Homo-oligomer: A and B are copies of this chain.
Amino acid sequence: MGIEERKEREKERRRQQIMVAAKRVFSDKGFAKTTMEDISKESELSTGTLYLYFKNKEELFASLSFRILQYLLIRLEHVSKEPEMGPEEKIRALKDALYDVYDFDPLIIINMFHLQSSETLMNLSPKILDEMKDMSRKSIGEMAKIFQEGIDQGIFIDAHPLALADSLWSMFSGLVLWEESKRIINPKKDFLKSTLSLAFDVFARGIKKS
């Protein structure tokens, strides 16, 4: 029957409802300062209900990161597989893709960066953790493909493609964090887009074989 499906959909909708609320609160206060009650109030659900959909605070947070990682991977795959573009164009497209990912959910991505390395803090179920690691690995892999392509074509310098991908990714995440931290001091100015553009240009020039 459609009844099963409807229930399924409603359940999914609830999950989303919670995630939307959680995103707002996490973005506003960060992971540590956000309480489950904050989220319950924002979502207009009881705290108990939150635990019906997410095992604990950390998995709720992780689910938000997960969504971003999914989106990131999709965008990267899209760029990587684009048959019309050459490696140089793809690097440029990469910049836009990464910026879009950031733009899709600016504050959660920042929180995510904060937590991504402090896994000691996180008490995620191994399954979720593995999935997230897998997704990260894949994302880096997609970027590496582009570098590999350029190297194979003799356009890019002969460096380890994964190391190049790590560098580019680090530059991106580092900039997001850094510009965000500057914006706290001076909220009016947002240089992320322009600095990102410059950094990517420099990077693109830097890997080109002279």
Contacts and interface: CB of A to CB of B under 8 A. Distances in A.
Copies of this protein, total: 4
A198 B201 CA distance: 16
Given A166-B195, A198-B160, A120 B29 contact: yes
Contacts of A154: none
B166 A178 contact: yes
Contacts of A182: 166
A121 B86 CA distance: 44
Chain B CB count within 10 A is highest, among A117, A157, A182, A191, for: A117
A174 to B, nearest CB: 2
Interface in A7-37: 28-30, 32-33
Interface in A72-124: 110-111, 113-121
Chief secondary structure at chain A's binding surface: helix
A133 interface: yes
Contacts of A173: 174, 177-178
A30 B119 CA distance: 9
A167 B173 CA distance: 11
Contacts of A210: 205, 210
A128 interface: no
A185 interface: yes
Contacts of A113: 177
Contacts of A180: 117
Contacts of A110: 117-118
Minimum-distance CB pairs A-B, first 8: A174-B174, A206-B206, A170-B174, A117-B181, A202-B206, A167-B199, A205-B206, A170-B175
